[in-house]
Structure 1
């Protein structure tokens, strides 16, 4: 399987057009293509910079000429989950007609959209991108050939991967900055490129504070990694 991550500007996409004029972002949670109606039906997480920004963004999305359906599923403050439908854009058509498909959540913000795209055969990728280039601006941010064995490995261990990601997200800002700097400065190398004293001086805190931040962060990360050792299929 050929896997691509593409940053794209479409000129007929309701999500992108809305993010140009309003401080909102969209993340696709689930989507399906309705062949009969030729539209993508999705559940989407919408985030606004403020409550007012969310209100304005949702209103603009509903009024977009290529937006065909809308239902608010839930809302809390400046975030909402909606169920909606979007008419097939030129980019969607180019990908689908060349055997491509979405492999991950799409993300729209600041006037562009990030797609994760898969193709079963790498020889069709060039044709798909050529057709995509006719009516859209895009940059291929990454491209990799993934064996189906590797793909199924990811699918079979998705819960474990999520646990590790949750551990990373569970770090406080201070723990994250401290561990990142410790790694970058060579604290974990032999011999050490930076001691706790060096890091304390850089952050202008006590050595005790740095040591505690490192240990707390390491404990969170290592707990998830050790649990993963038991879960990962060998």
Structure 2
């Protein structure tokens, strides 16, 4: 009996939150949220290319040990990041705790992580949940389902809160009208973010909505260098 969950983790000690907290992108998507090697925590992270974040910008962050660019995909620059884990939360990321969980992409914001995970059973999920809270990481469960029976605490909407906010504002202001009634710069000002961050939010939201409505998986093309 598998358990599918959607949840948010919040803690300033979580890996990679320093990127959207200090650099232009509003969010970072990790296609492999935690690829853990014996001596390092390795992440494959996607950052909106329009944000202009460089390898040097990432390498300057205290938590980043090393960084290398893997190319671009769908307007995102893909990086391999090796990051330190704060001692206070490191035990929660013991590789053995992920044996019974299938990881999907993680959305990292300045506030924390937004994740969807499939656990092999409820006991594995409960252990995961308890362990994170015991290490000072706030755990907010959004939805949970078992064998097709859903117990959502929110809607079935495939969007993050920030993506939904940006899309709703864009629609209400006539961004998708022809001709457009508002510019991307004006929408970005209303949301208090940069124009590249707004464009990233809209593009990711549109992609998620299309993927969900068409019932297809996103294209995972080979990275171009």
8 Å Cα contact 2:33/2:104 also seen in 1: no
Give 1:96 shift.
Answer: 4.4
Q: Structure 1 residues 124, 50: CA separation in 2 closer, same or farther (over 3 Å shift)?
A: closer
2:68–2:79 contact (8 Å) kept in structure 1: yes
Q: Which has the larger radius of gyration?
A: 1
2:31 maps to which residue?
29
Which residue in 1 is equivalent to 2:8? 7
Deviation at 1:123, TM superposition (A): 2.0
Taking a change above 3 Å as real, the CA distance of residues 95 and 10 of structure 1, as seen in their structure-2 partners, is farther
Count of residues in Structure 1 that have an aligned counterpart in Structure 2? 150
Higher RCO by CA contacts (8 Å cutoff, separation 6 or greater):
2
Give the drift of 1:126.
Answer: 2.1
> In 2 relative to 1, CA 95–173 (structure 1 residues): closer, same or farther, beyond 3 Å?
farther
Partner secondary structure for residue 123 of structure 2: helix
Question: Any conservation in 1 of the 2:19–2:110 contact (CA below 8 Å)?
Answer: no
Alignment deviations for residues 180-203 of structure 1 (CA, whole Å, 9 cap, x no partner): xxxxxxxxxxxxxxxxxxxxxxxx
Partner residue of 1:153?
A: none
Does the CA contact (< 8 Å) of 1:68 and 1:85 recur in 2?
yes
Normalization by structure 1: what TM-score? 0.51
Specify the alignment match of 1:109 in structure 2: 109
Query: Structure 1 residue 115: deviation in Å?
Result: 1.5
Q: CA RMSD, aligned part only?
A: 3.6
Matches within 5 A, 1:181-220: none
Show CA shifts across 1:109-133 (max 9, x none).
2422111222212123223212211
The CA deviation string for residues 63-83 of structure 1, in whole angstroms up to 9 with x for no partner, is 33432321022359x842112
Q: Is the 8 A contact 1:95 1:101 kept in 2?
A: no
Q: Which has the higher helix share?
A: 1
Residues 71/128 of structure 1: CA separation in 2 closer, same or farther (3 Å cut):
same
How much does 1:22 deviate? 2.5
Measured at CA, do residues 59 and 123 of structure 1 come closer, stay the same or move farther in structure 2, by a change above 3 Å? same
Q: Which runs of 5+ in 1 are unaligned?
A: 148-171, 176-220, 229-234
Q: Give 5+ residue unaligned stretches, structure 2.
A: 149-174, 179-209, 217-225
